[in-house]
Amino acid sequence: MIVILDFGSQYTQLIARRIREQNVYCEIHPFNIPPDQVKNMNPEGIILSGGPSSVLGESSPSVEPELFGWGIPVLGICYGLQLMAKLLGGEVENSNQSEYGRTEISIQQSNRFFESVATDRDLTVWMSHGDRVKSIPDGFEVLAVSENSPFAAVADTDKRLYGIQFHPEVTHTDQGIQILKNFVFGICGCAPDWNMESFKESKIRELKEAVGDEEVLCALSGGVDSTVTAVLLHKAIGEKLTCIFVDNGLLRKDEASKVINLFEKHYQINLVHIDAVEIFMDKLKGVSDPEQKRKIIGYEFINIFERESGKLKGIKYLAQGTLYPDVIESVSFKGPSDVIKSHHNVGGLPEDMKMELVEPLRELFKDEVRELGVALGLDDELVYRHPFPGPGLGIRILGEVTREKIEVLQEADHIVMEEIKKAGLYRKVWQSFAVLLPVKSVGVMGDARTYDWTIAIRCVSSKDAMTADWVHLPYDLLGKISNRIINEVRKINRVVYDITSKPPGTIEWE
């Protein structure tokens, strides 16, 4: 196993992903996790991620230097390299010639670290740094240089310490994967024996140990993430798991009844169904600010959970299907990275929440969760269901949410999904849905003037929701969806197609 200590880089999760793609298990932990805990994990290697801070700044994030003396290979990437250099007696300076984006490096000596990497020419790598290493600690040697980084790659091979100024994890770095493979296999000696089956088994064991004989409550939405969370927990602790399904009235058409059927009848998991539609509608009345809506929905959700868990007596843990992209987009790290949206699963939690959180998927990307779902034997229809945000249709209705708008959107959304499925595209796209724009425009239907709302169709491709592109749906499919929505859904007289990628847009409209 490889441990990544996270200093807040936007790429940390990519490092993890690249390593897991090599069938090596890898976990991300915050940089300030106690060293003993890292040691107890028995990692074969440690990676220090990049990050937005400067090691020259006061109280910049750091690690205990003892970590470099354990004999466990360490790879410092960007900020990680600079930190390692500083802590071991080298010097770091603020370079007035920062390097951002594509940069050429020249490899100075063939070393295990660059094994099978073409060393007879310059390598194009991805850099993103303002500071640079000015002098390296004793025992280190230079492996590669770039025009502005005399220490683009360095190593103390005796101590098994390696540092690079560039990011091997991004696709723009030539042979970046080979470089990571060299570290993971050649230097750390990991075996490529990790897969979803083994992840499943170890997670189940881990959950059993972590939870012991305590009761766990699981927030069930019916989506892939919470379903996989629930089934995984059910395998680990059986009857000790109770799922609560809160119908907040913001779900897709017929979703509530499907969830109840599936969990009670099919999986026979303890299920408490709460009809909270009135409560949510009441709290959302008059609210049109997206962040406020998200917070209200998240807060009410947790409130209901606390109330219900109180009734159930002795519940210690709350399980949630939080994924890694939710975590990094929600946590404003000690640096300049901004909170983009407060995710329902993470933001909005009251500080005095009485239950401890269990989030068995928080290290995983969506496609990995699906793989895990398959490993757990879940139905394809469920496993490949498009992601649905925690705040549901609440953030797909722009402005104030009302029952009428929800009904209109549910119908339109159902048509989008049905047609995308019929066209054989459902599994090929990341998400497809309808958004209700309650702006009125003029139309004409059957000789009569109409003055009604608009539906926007959103259909995007993505690998992990961090970036996304709009899908070039065939015109006749768009035409069919548009016709059906206008003919079948009352209150709608115009349909538009959203052609914004992420960035600069986000997938959801709010």
Task: Report the catalytic residues.
Answer: 78, 167, 169
Question: Do the beta carbons of residue 275 and residue 247 sit within 8 Å?
Answer: yes
Residues 6+ apart with CB under 8 A from 153: 105, 107, 113, 114, 142, 143, 144, 162, 163, 164, 165, 166
Q: Does 227 bind ligand XMP (CB under 6 A)?
A: no
Contact range with ligand XMP by CB under 6 A, out of 258-266, 268-276, 370-378, 385-393: 385-393
Contact range with ligand XMP by CB under 6 A, out of 204-212, 232-240, 357-365, 383-391: 383-391
Among 32, 108, 148, 506, binds ligand XMP (CB under 6 A): 506
CA of residue 372 relative to chain centroid, distance: 15
Q: Does 73 bind ligand XMP (CB under 6 A)?
A: no
Q: Does 390 bind ligand XMP (CB under 6 A)?
A: yes
Nearest to ligand XMP of 82, 227 (CB atom): 227
Q: Please, what is the minimum distance in Å from the beta carbon of residue 341 to ligand XMP?
A: 5
Q: Please, what is the minimum distance in Å from the beta carbon of residue 230 to ligand XMP?
A: 15
C-alpha separations of 335 from 9, 10, 49, 83, 366 in Å: 10, 11, 14, 16, 26
Q: What are phi and psi of 345, to 5 degrees?
A: -75, -20
Q: Does 508 bind ligand XMP (CB under 6 A)?
A: yes
Tell me which H or E stretch contains 100: strand 91-107
Nearest to ligand XMP of 465, 492 (CB atom): 465
Among 50, 76, 80, 389, binds ligand XMP (CB under 6 A): 389
State which of positions 462-491 bind ligand XMP (CB under 6 A): 465
State which of positions 18-37 bind ligand XMP (CB under 6 A): none
Distance, in Å, from the CA atom of 44 to the CA atom of 2, rounded to the nearest integer, reads: 6
Distance, in Å, from the CA atom of 143 to the CA atom of 165, rounded to the nearest integer, reads: 11
Nearest to ligand XMP of 124, 506 (CB atom): 506
HSE-CB of 341 using CA atoms within 13 angstroms: 22
Q: Please, what is the minimum distance in Å from the beta carbon of residue 145 to ligand XMP?
A: 39
Among 103, 229, 431, 432, binds ligand XMP (CB under 6 A): 431
Q: Does 387 bind ligand XMP (CB under 6 A)?
A: yes
Q: Please, what is the minimum distance in Å from the beta carbon of residue 395 to ligand XMP?
A: 7
Nearest to ligand XMP of 149, 322 (CB atom): 322
Six-digit token string for 4? 């990544």
**Residue keyed to tokens 């005796």:** 158
Q: Does 385 bind ligand XMP (CB under 6 A)?
A: no
Q: Please, what is the minimum distance in Å from the beta carbon of residue 298 to ligand XMP?
A: 7
State which of positions 332-361 bind ligand XMP (CB under 6 A): 341, 343-345
Q: Please, what is the minimum distance in Å from the beta carbon of residue 334 to ligand XMP?
A: 22
Distance, in Å, from the CA atom of 184 to the CA atom of 399, rounded to the nearest integer, reads: 49
Q: Does 502 bind ligand XMP (CB under 6 A)?
A: yes
Q: Does 507 bind ligand XMP (CB under 6 A)?
A: yes
Distance, in Å, from the CA atom of 175 to the CA atom of 77, rounded to the nearest integer, reads: 16
**Which residues are paired to 217 by β-bridges?**
242, 318
Q: Please, what is the minimum distance in Å from the beta carbon of residue 102 to ligand XMP?
A: 26
Name the packing angle between helices 277-284 and 290-312 (round to 10°): 150
Nearest to ligand XMP of 87, 357 (CB atom): 357
State which of positions 105-134 bind ligand XMP (CB under 6 A): none
C-alpha separations of 45 from 2, 4, 33, 41, 137 in Å: 5, 9, 16, 11, 20
Residues 6+ apart with CB under 8 A from 112: 157, 182, 186, 187
Nearest to ligand XMP of 246, 507 (CB atom): 507
Q: Please, what is the minimum distance in Å from the beta carbon of residue 347 to ligand XMP?
A: 8
Nearest to ligand XMP of 62, 500 (CB atom): 500
Nearest to ligand XMP of 12, 342 (CB atom): 342
Give the CA angle between residues 293, 295, 297 to the nearest 5°: 70
State which of positions 165-184 bind ligand XMP (CB under 6 A): none
Distance, in Å, from the CA atom of 71 to the CA atom of 49, rounded to the nearest integer, reads: 19
Q: Report long-range pairs for 115-120 (Cβ below 8 Å, ≥24 apart).
A: 115/182, 115/186, 116/178, 116/182, 117/175, 117/178, 117/179, 117/182, 118/175
Interface contacts to ligand XMP, rule CB under 6 A: 326, 341, 343-345, 387, 389-391, 431, 465, 502, 506-508
